[in-house]
Structure 1
Amino acid sequence: MISRFNNSKLFTLLKVQYSNMLEYRAEIALWAISGIIPFFMLNIWTNNNLNESINISNVMLSRYFLCAFFVRQFSVVWVVFSFEEDSLLGKVSPYLIQPLNPFFRYFAQHLAEQITRFPFAIIIAFFFFIFNPDSIWIPKLGILFLSIISTFLSFLIQFLIQSIVACLCFWTEKASSIERLIFIPTLFLSGLLAPVVSFPEYVRSWIYLTPFPYLIDFPANLLSGNATNITGGFSMQVLWILLLFPAFKKMWSAGTKKYTAMGS
């Protein structure tokens, strides 16, 4: 009964947030367009024949960066900025007295935004194929299903990382500054600017121990058909989720206790 009640609340939250997102379609379209960094990187790679150094054809490289674009579109997270703003505006207090953890609200916002963003991402992909007809391919149904799961797990990892950072708002007013520091290794090690396989082997050996390559590189390689360790990739994604979720719960518990103490 409790599970059914929680599911009902989450579904209602998702519907409400989706309705809100529909009011900002133009802004979301701009967000989608702003995520075309992988296409710029593709242009740099192909114009300088950098793909020859990692033995990847132009077609497979094009597919990789297109898939990196899609993964990025549906795994981008901004919860730390939303929570920081709500904290500064005093909106967190009424959230805390509600029976649902406030982060479920932000989680629903992200899912609703992803649903709204989907048609714009498809349009961008359509124009990409017009200019790169050799890159057109249809992933196998099983691979497509695994890619969707992998992208969602990537989203969960990033959501948990940012949620942990967001909890620092209970101690500081500028938790977003810390998130910007985390964004630097995310940008360079996630596969957004270059496939992780392009790094020297001694560097890759420790990069694969971090959560970063499982945010973009693994899902993008999986969807594009490039060689990747499917079992190892999923195992590491699940492992990082299992490590980050207790850390978030601990940070949230400590933060709310401090917040209550400050308000008493």
Structure 2
Amino acid sequence: MTAPRLRATGRKVRVLFSMQFALMAEYRAEVVIWMLSGTLSLVMMLVWMAQAAAAPGGMVRGYTPADFATYFLSTWLVSQLLVVWVSHELDYEIRQGVLSPKLLRPLDPFWQHLLGHVSERFIRIVPMLALLGVFTWLSGARYTTHWWAYPAALGLVVLGFSARFLWEYTIGLLSFWTDSSSSFQEIVWLVYAALGGMFAPLAFYPDWVQRIAVWTPFPYMLGLPSQLLAGKATLAQAGQGALILTGWLAVFWVVRVTVWRAGLRKYGAVGA
């Protein structure tokens, strides 16, 4: 890409990001409500802390109540950064014809949706960290002191968000062929939550479930960053997870592009 074209692309990205940031800023109160509604990890934290406190020796499989608090609060934090709602937006845009004027623009609608999600993270970050501080103080969670765990976890979160955005985008595109794609999204979310470790650390699952999970992207985008923050994963494991997520990113990208092109042919066929 030539320098002038690169600068032009940079300007487009800045303008689009600024527009999406301004839009998301109007919904800052709703963002806080959305965060508070994602309490599954917090509920599971209380359940497992109670189990550990009641167990002989005050721990379950090497996890003390403080360890469970650290793991599930880390899971809550990571899951907040992985939130994606693009499938619902696409479901509405395709069924209602809102997508049609967007197709006239010299930019794939994919990028507008992506920057909308990215800008929302900047709105979410301050109240999210404030809530994390309160939850940490109340629960007695203790995060790792290894400095490398934090950039490693952040890198996995970036890859995990990208992977989730791509598959959610693809699910939304199924509205080209179905009346609603929401049911597909709910099924995938259950698998993501279960294999990602939102209900319990993956090591607590049966061996056959673990053998299946390691071939999916879910443990590396949610559970592994949480284990890094809790001090229960190594840098080598983070590197392995990053490689696996990168491979899945390539798969999801190809699938998204393929489904998008096939869907556009059907969308145009009905005169939209």
In 2, the alpha carbon distance for the partners of 1:60 and 1:11 equals 41
Q: 2:139 aligns with which of 107, 112, 132?
A: 132
**Superposition deviation, residue 53 in structure 1:** 3.9
> Corresponding residue for 1:45?
48
> Corresponding residue for 1:17?
20
Return closer, same or farther for 1:54/1:7 CA change in 2, 3 Å cut-off: farther
Contact 1:29 / 1:117 at 8 angstroms: preserved in 2? yes
Deviation string 1:165-207 (CA, Å, 9 cap, x unpaired) is: 1111111220122111212212221111111111122220111
Return closer, same or farther for 1:242/1:32 CA change in 2, 3 Å cut-off: same
In 1, the alpha carbon distance for the partners of 2:245 and 2:63 equals 25
Matched, 1:164 2:170: yes
Return closer, same or farther for 1:259/1:194 CA change in 2, 3 Å cut-off: same
**Structure 1 stretches of at least 4 aligned residues deviating more than 3 Å after TM superposition:** 50-53, 136-141
Q: 1:219 aligns with which of 216, 220, 225?
A: 225
5+ residue gaps, structure 1, are none
Return closer, same or farther for 1:137/1:165 CA change in 2, 3 Å cut-off: closer
Return closer, same or farther for 1:64/1:6 CA change in 2, 3 Å cut-off: same
How many equivalent pairs are there?
263
Contact 1:154 / 1:214 at 8 angstroms: preserved in 2? yes
> Corresponding residue for 1:65?
72
**Superposition deviation, residue 138 in structure 1:** 6.1
> Corresponding residue for 1:178?
184
In the superposition, the TM-score normalised over structure 2's length comes to: 0.91
In 2, the alpha carbon distance for the partners of 1:237 and 1:143 equals 17
**Aligned-residue CA RMSD (Å):** 1.8
Deviation string 1:10-47 (CA, Å, 9 cap, x unpaired) is: 22111111111111111111011112321111110011
Contact 1:160 / 1:248 at 8 angstroms: preserved in 2? yes
5+ residue gaps, structure 2, are none
In the superposition, the TM-score normalised over structure 1's length comes to: 0.93
> Corresponding residue for 1:259?
267
Deviation string 1:217-252 (CA, Å, 9 cap, x unpaired) is: 011112222125222211111111011111111111
